[in-house]
Chains A and B, each alone.
Chain A
Amino acid sequence: MTRLVASIFCGVVALIGCAGTTSAMTIEKIVSPSGIEAWLVREKAVPLVTLNYAFHGGAAQDEADKAGTANLAADLLDEGAGDLDSKAYHERLENHAIELGFQVGRDYIHGSLRALTEHRDEAFDLLRLALSSPRFDADAIERVRGQQLAALQRDSTNPNDLSSRRWWQTAFPDHPYGRESKGTLETVPRITADDLRAYVRRVFARNELKVAIVGDVDAKTAGALIDRAFGGLPAKNDLKPVADATPSGIGRRIVINVDVPQAVVTFGGQGIARQDPDFMAAYIVNHILGGGSFSSRLYREVREKRGLAYGVSDSLVWFRSAAVVLGGTATRADRTADALAVIEHEIKRMADEGPTPDELAAAKSFLKGSYALTLDTSGKIAVQLTQIQIDNLGIDYIQRRGALIDAVTIEDAKRVARRLYGGGMLVTVAGRPKGLTSSETTE
């Protein structure tokens, strides 16, 4: 088995862990013959190639009365392209076990490809067809639309969906971020084939395309593959601007009545932009309050000490035009008020006092040490490299990240804790919580 590229590349290109104890992973910046920039990691241990990419232009591009357009388009990209109808296209994928995926976020549409090395040309050809000449046949549109409507109908009584949907609607009224990417039962039926074609035409272009490729390929081959898939796309996209926004409704508490044994709680407030100088301090402080590990304050207070919930956490969420801190839990109806009181108390305590020096040191240690776990498969590496490009952090970010974490002082952490948690929260609850003081109640 080959270690992920030896340190002889040091200094030529960005290198992870060059000075540290971790093994090296080389990221090469390459430019395809047609001029598309991509980041490449050569990986020879497993005979496969993994591609991840993102086009600027996600669900925020949808018209308000046609929310779900980007999402429906994404679901139809592999339902026939070029001369191949849905059946023929899927057979070509299946004959060589090629995996294509498309996922719509608010700002971007993300794509992934995985193929055995020997089938990579076929894989990139099929991707080109999906991106440049999707058919959007009427029967496929109606079939996939039917699936999406059935899922929306199903989710219309799901407490997780109800709570989350109401949170975003309230936080971002009259803004694209307030709408779900998957649209609604009212908007999805309105989407036409022309809308889908217009979305693809406006978004799939070379100018704001981010690409990461991992596999047993050299720079020349990778460049040729990238052009094979993306080289024929228009040079420039045609996007609508998305206005900057801050979450509204802070301080409100909204109960959505639905008859379930367990109430689902969503809470959140103003977050922090990825490019903000305080981002890393905020990231650390949030980890201490409610990050994913078993040692966060919320986990300890809500779950371990009181047994109020199976899970509780919060995280930073950032977009191009807004940022929020968002968390959630689920707890039985007669203890929902208790759980929410504990969460609000911990948020206030963090805002007032910040973390302790011990907590800060432990969080730094975790966040540095665990990063390698996000880079241990080809797929994870490709996803990370695409996100680092989207966030415009630079090809040496992985190398710099440890120092950025170390630079956060306890004073920074306290100041940023107040900034992040001092402003209050918007809370939505779906269920039949007992004894919960509600600022308003809706059915």
Chain B
Amino acid sequence: MLTKINFMIIALVSAVASSVLAAEQAGPEIADFTLANGLELVVIPDHRAPVVTHMIWYKVGAADETPGKSGLAHFLEHLMFKGTAKNPAGKFSQVVARIGGQENAFTSQDYTGYYQRVPSEQLKTVMEFEADRMTGLQLTDEVVLPERNVILEEQNQRVGNNPRARLAEQIDAALYLNHPYGKPVIGWRHEMEELSRNDAIGFYRRFYAPNNAVVVIAGDVDPAQARALAEESYGKVPRHGAMGPRVRAQEPPPVAVRSLTLADARVEMPTLQREYLVPSFATGKRGESEALEVLAHILGNGSNSRLYRALAIEKQVAVVAEAWYDSSALDLSKFGIYGSPRPGITLLQLEAEIDAVVALLIDKGVTADELDRAKTRLIADAVYAQDNQASMARWYGTALTTGGSVNDVRHWPDRIRAVTADQVRDAARQWLDKRRSATGYLIKDVSPQVEKRS
């Protein structure tokens, strides 16, 4: 099971071009309804190919774990493939394979998702299996313990073997002082090693229920048919009586510029990574998240972005310079800047140049051309996404589990269209304040190495 640690929504924005407007308006007729037991269902018809993408998104992620149990949401995601009373371990996967389907699952801080892509006439089959494992999971130590080794190997593969991923974990931990987003989704190893069958079952019983989930179906299906199939399968799962609101410990106002250094003998390319604590779509005021989206694009997406032009082309101090923003988080999110210096340039010199680019943008704002190009690009992405049923399903699923609605997604292009140059500059001024940030330096460890690994 793949674990999508940073499942960033594709930025989807609005259009000026006429055909784009037409495409948005014509777009698929999306149905959105809720069953009596509280399960929300979103259907995105696309009849071009006889296949369907069926996803279930639970509104629970790593940020909902009890302190001391980091990695539990993701561990449970793996264990969800271990069978139920009705369908023993492996049967669901065997059936998906036999019908020529693909399946996988992913976990983020805010959601856990499972999906199958199958021939459209098999939709009923996968819905029945998925409804069965919503409450029917059965676990024994015989399957739990080897799987715990699997997630430890996954941690090695994703983080242990990768110095940049190790640094990113440390930056998150420094950025979030109080909110659980500071813990890695995969978990801290010493806590992962202790996760048990009881931990997994307890978490499962607490969070897995129809009234804490969204089913998204995209592809060759019509909404009435999907609804009937959902009533027959998911509709029979009882509502969870005690599903509380999603409340996590919140961040205090940030006051200190933070920086940290990770030295690793394997580092051959030093890098600087910075994250700022910023609003997500869910927490921001109207237009704030959209302005940050446009800002990230202008500042650091592509060869004509501010950072790349200034650092890689004009001053020639960097080989890479980028910026990004993740709008999809239930609580405060992150705006990131990333760069690697040219040989002979120090990380501090690189950082000074990055700061100068940000300061200039805060001081002078962005040009009308830059604003137009960023919007055009983001708007086109919304149209390009319509070519891919799986992308559409992910886009809606992400929004609906991080505080957004179907209408929020549909009207996002309009909101991006409305972003002004002043809003972009204001967003930079307000949020790209170093006191809101943690900066990590990845450097080569040149101290003598002792062979110590087990």
Contact = CB atoms under 8 A, between A and B. Distances in A.
A86 B265 CA distance: 37
Central interface residue in A151, A155, A371, by most chain B CB within 10 Å: A151
B4 interface: no
A143 B308 CA distance: 11
A122 to B, nearest CB: 12
Contacts of B373: 91, 94-95
Secondary structure at the A interface, as helix, strand, loop or mixed, is mixed
A159 B304 CA distance: 33
A47 B101 contact: no
Contact of B20 (A91, A116, A160): A116
Interface in B5-21: 17-20
B103 A294 contact: yes
A216 to B, nearest CB: 10
Contacts of A366: 97-100
A431 to B, nearest CB: 9
Contacts of B67: none
Interface in A150-209: 150-151, 153-160
Contacts of B153: 262, 307-310, 330-332
Contact of A377 (B19, B342, B387): B387
Interface string B146-161: 1111111110110011
Central interface residue in A118, A139, A155, by most chain B CB within 10 Å: A118
Given A150-B320, A259-B453, A307-B147, A372 B50 contact: yes
A3 interface: yes
A260 B101 contact: no
A432 B451 contact: yes
Contacts of A114: 384
B81 A294 contact: yes
B156 A330 contact: yes
Contacts of B449: 259
A94 B312 contact: no
A121 to B, nearest CB: 13
Contacts of B157: 262, 310-311, 330
Contacts of A154: 268-269
B94 A362 contact: yes
A43 interface: yes
A258 interface: yes
A426 B320 CA distance: 36
A150 B22 contact: no
Contacts of A438: none
A376 B389 contact: yes
Contacts of A4: 48-49
A261 B160 contact: yes
A12 interface: no
B48 A43 contact: yes
Contact of B102 (A2, A46, A156, A373): A373
A437 interface: no
Given A46-B387, A86-B303, A259-B451, A305 B100 contact: no
A315 interface: no
B407 interface: no
A334 interface: yes
A147 B118 CA distance: 41
Given A47-B19, A376-B51, A97 B379 contact: yes
Nearest to B104: A294
B268 A333 contact: no
A146 B319 contact: yes
B32 to A, nearest CB: 18
Interface string B98-128: 1111110000000000000111010000000
A116 B389 CA distance: 18
A83 interface: no
Contacts of A96: 376
Interface in A85-124: 86-87, 90-91, 94-97, 114, 116-118
Contacts of B390: 376
Contacts of B150: 303, 307, 309-310
Contacts of B319: 146-147, 150
A394 interface: no
Interface in B274-307: 302-304
A265 to B, nearest CB: 12
Given A47-B19, A153-B268, A261-B156, A375 B49 contact: yes
Contacts, number: 218
A58 interface: no
Nearest to B454: A334
B88 interface: no
Nearest to A295: B97
A251 B102 CA distance: 34
B149 A46 contact: no
Contacts of B380: 97, 116
A116 B16 CA distance: 13
B200 to A, nearest CB: 15
A385 to B, nearest CB: 14
A260 B160 CA distance: 7
Given A94-B377, A97-B376, A362-B98, A310 B154 contact: yes
Given A143-B313, A146-B319, A21 B50 contact: yes
Given A96-B376, A308-B153, A372-B51, A333 B313 contact: no
A160 B160 CA distance: 13
Interface string B59-101: 0000000000000000000000100000000100110011111
Contact of B269 (A117, A153, A332, A368): A153
B424 interface: no
A266 interface: no
A48 interface: yes
Given A46-B383, A90-B302, A91-B304, A146 B342 contact: yes
Nearest to A369: B100
Central interface residue in A17, A48, A151, by most chain B CB within 10 Å: A48
A143 B383 CA distance: 33
A217 to B, nearest CB: 14
Contacts of B101: 369-370, 373
Contacts of B103: 294
A259 B161 CA distance: 9
Contacts of B372: 95
Interface string A125-143: 0000000000000010001
B117 to A, nearest CB: 5
Given A1-B46, A87-B309, A369-B119, 6 more contacts: A48-B383, A157-B268, A293-B97, A293-B102, A307-B145, A432-B453
11 contacts: A2-B47, A45-B48, A97-B380, A146-B342, A154-B269, A260-B266, A264-B161, A307-B149, A333-B454, A372-B100, A378-B387
Report the 10 A-B pairs with minimum CB-CB distance, sorted nearest first.
A369-B100, A307-B149, A97-B380, A307-B146, A154-B269, A262-B156, A370-B100, A310-B154, A157-B266, A376-B49
Interface of A: 1-4, 17, 21-23, 25, 43, 45-48, 50, 79, 86-87, 90-91, 94-97, 114, 116-118, 139, 143, 146-147, 150-151, 153-160, 258-262, 264, 293-295, 303-311, 330-334, 362, 365-373, 375-379, 432
